[in-house]
Amino acid sequence: MKATYTQFMTMGPSKFDRLPKPLAGVRHFNAGKGILLFLIGTLLYVAHSAFIPVALALLAGLILSSPVEMLFRVGLPRGLSAALILMATLAAATGLIALVWAPSQQWYASAPHTLSVIQKKITPVARLMGHIEDLTNRATQVGAAPAQTATVAVAQESGPRAVLASVRDSAVGLVTFMIITLFLLAGGPPMVARMTAAFFGHLKAHHVQNYIEKVRAEVGQFYVTTALINLGLGVATTLVMTAWGMPTPYLWGALAAILNFIPYAGATVTLLVVTLVAIVSFDGLGHVIGVALSYVGLAAIEGQVVQPFLVGRNLEVNPLLIFLGLWFGGTFWGVAGVILATPVLVALKVIAENAVDGQSMLQFLGPNEPAVEEPKGFRNLVRPLKDRRKT
């Protein structure tokens, strides 16, 4: 039986408040948060040279804190453990650079010859594209007045001075990164928790340390597993490139392993590089296609089989958010922003999983999953139960 107007008006405030309010979130929108985010983004963009070493040091401290804590539990002082782990990491990075330095210099020295070979081999395609471009230009220039081009003299900085400035900035950033990383590792999660709680004021140090421990454990395990997977991909790429007769195959294996830390973009860049090297190195088109398809197969196995099996879905993030993070990170901070995009998203998801009110953030960051609609009978059964509990 339909309710009359009088019955509707006498429902009472408690029942009236239960009516749906689709615009409640719009009314409670706080414009101050948007302005604050805009100001923070502007600050990070303008002062990127100051924030990049700090952000990279935070990432390194988060990843390397697990072995430091392990040595600390064994009995070594935390400062000595931090120094040993940092020295071992820098030694491993130096060894990797030394391994790929010589072949990289060879390819860099032969870059003009390489470009000329590529130009000769793609001449038919270039001619076709040139004809299409000429036809397009003629079509657009019909009836248009000839445009006058003005030559503007741009003062350019001298080459040696620019190189010295770049080396100086890189050296300062590297030293800053090492010092901050050492302090973070030596202080450990308790120091970071106390500083964070003191900065925000309303947070408790032990609560912050609990979040840091969970993020450290999950993200550390994620990166250790990813590093092992990428190492296997690098070895497999080296073997495949050797089988195809590619020059300096271990260089392309190292490139595949390093760039694979960057989702999507890393594998794409590696594919382009090995394809160009195959074009330069081989005369037949079959070898080029074979090299490209071989790496595509390795990348597909790594991304669709090995990665989901070893990492699982707990730390998976929405691919759209990863792409946007890479885009905005590269736009704001260049290579450093691309490196930091994925770990920031993974850390946010770990925090959302352990937060009391982080369900909405978890749904926003999580991978795309089809929504499962409840059966109507189930909803009709649950609603009376909820009403009985309220009464």
Q: Which amino acid is at 234?
A: G
Stretch 214-222: mean pLDDT, rounded? 80
Q: What is the pLDDT of residue 127?
A: 60
Q: How far apart are CA 107 and CA 255, in angstroms?
A: 14
Q: What is the pLDDT of residue 123?
A: 64
pLDDT category of residue 326 using cuts at 50, 70 and 90: confident
* Nearest CA among 229, 152, 158, 216 for reference residue 188: 216
Stretch 111-127: mean pLDDT, rounded? 65
Q: How far apart are CA 296 and CA 151, in angstroms?
A: 46
Stretch 200-208: mean pLDDT, rounded? 71
Stretch 332-336: mean pLDDT, rounded? 84
Q: Which amino acid is at 370?
A: P
Q: How far apart are CA 229 and CA 214, in angstroms?
A: 22
Read off the tokens for 61. Answer: 């401290």
pLDDT category of residue 229 using cuts at 50, 70 and 90: very high
Q: Is the pTM of this model over 0.75?
A: no
What Cα–Cα distance (Å) separates residue 95 from each residue in 88, 98, 151, 226, 261? 10, 5, 48, 20, 19
pLDDT reading at 73 higher than 60:
yes
Q: Flag the least confident range among 52-61, 175-184, 212-221, 306-315.
A: 306-315
* Nearest CA among 357, 355, 358, 348 for reference residue 318: 348
pLDDT reading at 314 higher than 60:
no
Stretch 33-61: mean pLDDT, rounded? 82
Q: What is the pLDDT of residue 96?
A: 84
Stretch 81-86: mean pLDDT, rounded? 91
**Strand, coil or helix: 295:** helix
Q: What is the pLDDT of residue 139?
A: 56
* Nearest CA among 347, 355, 356, 357 for reference residue 315: 347
Q: What is the pLDDT of residue 382?
A: 44
Q: What is the pLDDT of residue 304?
A: 84
Stretch 204-217: mean pLDDT, rounded? 78
Chain segment 125-167, per-residue pLDDT in tens: 556 555 566 656 665 665 454 545 444 444 455 567 776 777 7
Chain segment 9-27, per-residue pLDDT in tens: 555 554 444 444 444 444 4
Secondary structure string (H, E, C) spanning 151-213 = CCCCCCCCHHHHHHHHHHHHHHHHHHHHHHHHHHHHHHHHHHHHHHHHHHCCCCHHHHHHHHH
Q: What is the pLDDT of residue 46?
A: 82
User: In sequence order, what are the residues at sequence separation of 6 or more whose Cβ sits closer than 8 angstroms to the Cβ of residue 129?
Assistant: none
Q: How far apart are CA 378 and CA 211, in angstroms?
A: 37
pLDDT reading at 376 higher than 60:
no
